[in-house]
Amino acid sequence: MTSTAMRLPSTGRLADARDRPLRDLRISVTDRCNFRCVYCMPKSVFGRDYAFLDRDELLSFEEITRIARVAAAHGVEKLRLTGGEPLLRRGLEGLIAQLAELRTPDGRPLEIALTTNGSALAMKAASLKAAGLTRVTVSLDSLDDELFQAMNDVRFPVGRVLDGIQAAHDAGLGPVKVNMVVKRGLNDHEILPMAEHFRGTPFTLRFIEYMDVGTSNGWELGEVVPSAEIVERIGERMPLAAVGATAPGETAARWRYVDGGGEIGVISSVTQAFCGSCNRARISTEGRLFTCLFASEGHDLRALLRGGIDDDGLADAMGAIWGARDDRYSEVRATLTPELRAARPKVEMSYIGG
């Protein structure tokens, strides 16, 4: 993997086998989370005896920054820190400060975003902003406190997450996006209350179809509420009009309230696959590069980093991995039988980040 063409540091243009550029890098900074959400880290799998990674197995902040620097040379313009719950990573502001120093080949700062369950956001929002974080996305699956506590399965109250959302806005980490994973029979009755609550606020609510990420959540197709149904339910009460995408590769289809009350987004990776424009790569907590959210295996960058590879060699390696990328699982999902879907190993969301 020594091809200069793979490196392309001057142009920042790197394309995969389907001519999709690399623009977005999602970095999991911890495999730990203080929630046990039923669709992500259920207690039945991630119980008291679950073996999380040791600290020396995690990428250091300096290693993460090296990877991000090379990714920026290859065309990445946006970094998203995920987990697990990223705010559990001690000293995270230090990493953000390092990443904030990076630039694209033409000298622009990278967008640095973070996805969180919001549990520590009220305390951390101001320091995150001061370190250089650009904006934040908060996961929130219900406004009903009893249901929310049942879904996070650690009895964490919804009010504290709402406080965190407001604190993020007050700190300037906006526009704050709120993500709701919708699972039929569990929280789909909360679609309208959520829409009504966030309508007319500075916050953008996005509804995500329940996905078959990993194997621990026991995913079944019948539990998916299609985005079209979500839009229809909301539109019957509060009329909506479609809005065009703001950037190539945007995952959320946007809809605005006709009366000017803001907008919502829907992410339809099950019913309306967007593999054709996917420009995202993911780095797991211990440094494996995954080219798809539904991948079975990743590429070990940590071994290269700790083996003494220089930045040019790392650029060649990452370029070769992305150049060979041909992933399109969401497009082929519908052609697989339930047995084939179940038999296909996939990395867990808690390991790779959303």
Residue 339 has pLDDT above 80, yes or no: no
pLDDT at 341: 56
Q: 292, exposed or middle or buried, with CB in 10 Å at 0-12, 13-18, 19+? A: buried
CA 266 to chain centroid = 14
Give me the torsion for CA of 128, 132, 134, 135, rounded to 10°: 0
Q: pLDDT tens across 190-243, in order?
A: 999 999 999 999 999 999 999 866 555 566 888 999 999 999 999 999 999 999
pLDDT at 1: 37
Residue 101 has pLDDT above 90, yes or no: yes
Residue 7 has pLDDT above 70, yes or no: no
Residue that wins the pLDDT comparison between 181 and 12? 181
Strand duo 299-300 + 263-267: pairing: unpaired
Positive or negative: CA dihedral 311, 315, 317, 322: positive
Helix ranges restricted to H, the chain = 4-7, 61-73, 92-100, 121-131, 145-152, 158-171, 191-198, 227-237, 301-306, 311-323, 329-332, 338-343, 349-352
Strand duo 263-267 + 252-257: pairing: antiparallel
Q: Which residues have C-beta within 8 Å of that of residue 86, sequence separation ≥ 6?
A: 28, 29, 30, 92, 114, 115, 116
Amino acid present at 54: D
pLDDT at 5: 33
* Domains of the chain and any CATH numbers: 4-352 (3.20.20.70)
pLDDT at 345: 61
Residue 6 has pLDDT above 60, yes or no: no
Helix ranges restricted to H, 29-188 = 61-73, 92-100, 121-131, 145-152, 158-171
Residue that wins the pLDDT comparison between 8 and 306? 306
pLDDT at 39: 76
Positive or negative: CA dihedral 302, 305, 307, 309: positive
Which residue matches tokens 């219900």?
A: 142
Mean pLDDT within 56-64: 97
Residue that wins the pLDDT comparison between 78 and 344? 78
User: 291 with 281: CB under 8 angstroms?
Assistant: yes
Amino acid present at 31: D
Would you state the structure tokens that stand for residue 19, as one six-digit string? 């001519």
pLDDT at 2: 36
pLDDT-derived band at 250 (thresholds 50, 70, 90) equals: confident
Residue 64 has pLDDT above 50, yes or no: yes
Would you state the structure tokens that stand for residue 127, as one six-digit string? 């320091």
